[in-house]
Structure 1
Amino acid sequence: MQRFIKLGEGYGDVYELLTLIESMPNRVRHLLAFHTCKDGQDVTSIAAIFNPTSTGHFLPIYICLEGIPAPKEGRSNVRYDAFKELSERIGTELIEIHVQPSTTYHEEVLFFQQLTAVLRLNHLLPPI
């Protein structure tokens, strides 16, 4: 079973995701940054795909949805920089993908289904 777990968009949510990654670096499969333009603003969602649990084989994908300004050349972004530094520290490549904003879809679940398809096509998620 694979499922997105939306943490939120605020500072606290980003740091919760960072803490999850730091506390279980051996379970981290991929770290992702989804870049998009939402309501005229360039924003980024950060996500972590964890390896499945040993019992139940649940594969979580934790995501902070469209709450971080997109990184720009010459401009500091504390939350994105912290995520990128953590990826380097645990030795996991940060994969950056450009996607449509979640508001393109009538329901958020359809957006997550689209992201799941993109991740599977890029072999970042195993087949069901």
Structure 2
Amino acid sequence: MIQRFIELGEGYGDIFEICELARTNADRLEQAFIMYANHNDKQVASLAISLKPVGDSKFMPIYLCREGIPYNAEKPSQRLAIFEEALAQLNVVPNRFEIKHSSIFSENNLYYQYLIGILRLNHYIPPMH
């Protein structure tokens, strides 16, 4: 199974896009994620969804809005609320966990390998076969 991140942006349009991807692919929606990271003493959130492979394909896309959403537990961002509302309409509970910020990795590929490892280790996505 090949899992690959497909990075969207971090603005409102990108949040609406990831929500629409979840809705239009509701039958393929595998998991949803809200991942938190600390950066310069502030918490930021990344939002992601993973989709089941199509047909006999061994490709699992993971759409990601990376680290552009300020996170405050007491006053959630409107972008986060939009994502959570879309998931609630689909009866999907997002997996929430803390991760390292991508800025500590020398390149994005290493960061994505780190995330794949976390997702596999926690059985959120299947192992590579």
- Fold match (TM-score > 0.5): yes
- Normalised by the length of structure 2, the TM-score is 0.93
1:78, CA displacement in angstroms?
1.1
State how far apart, in whole Å, the 1-side matches of 2:111 and 2:4 are: 12
Name the SS of the counterpart of 2:103 in structure 1: helix
8 Å contact kept, 2:15–2:82: no
Aligned to 1:30: 31
Alignment deviations for residues 29-81 of structure 1 (CA, whole Å, 9 cap, x no partner): 000011011233211000001111114231000000001111422x1421101
Q: Could you tell me the percent identity over the aligned residues?
A: 34
1:69-80 to structure 2, matched below 5 A, reads 69-73=70-74, 75-80=75-80
Aligned to 1:115: 115
Aligned to 2:62: 61
Structure 1 residue ranges without an equivalent (≥5): none
- Normalised by the length of structure 1, the TM-score is 0.93
How many residues are matched? Answer: 127
Q: Structure 1 runs of 4+ off > 3 angstroms?
A: none
Structure 2 residue ranges without an equivalent (≥5): none
Q: Tell me the C-alpha RMSD between the 2 structures.
A: 1.2
> Which amino acid counterpart does residue 66 of structure 2 have in structure 1?
L
Aligned to 1:9: 10
> Which amino acid counterpart does residue 41 of structure 1 have in structure 2?
K
> Which amino acid counterpart does residue 16 of structure 1 have in structure 2?
E
Aligned to 1:103: 103
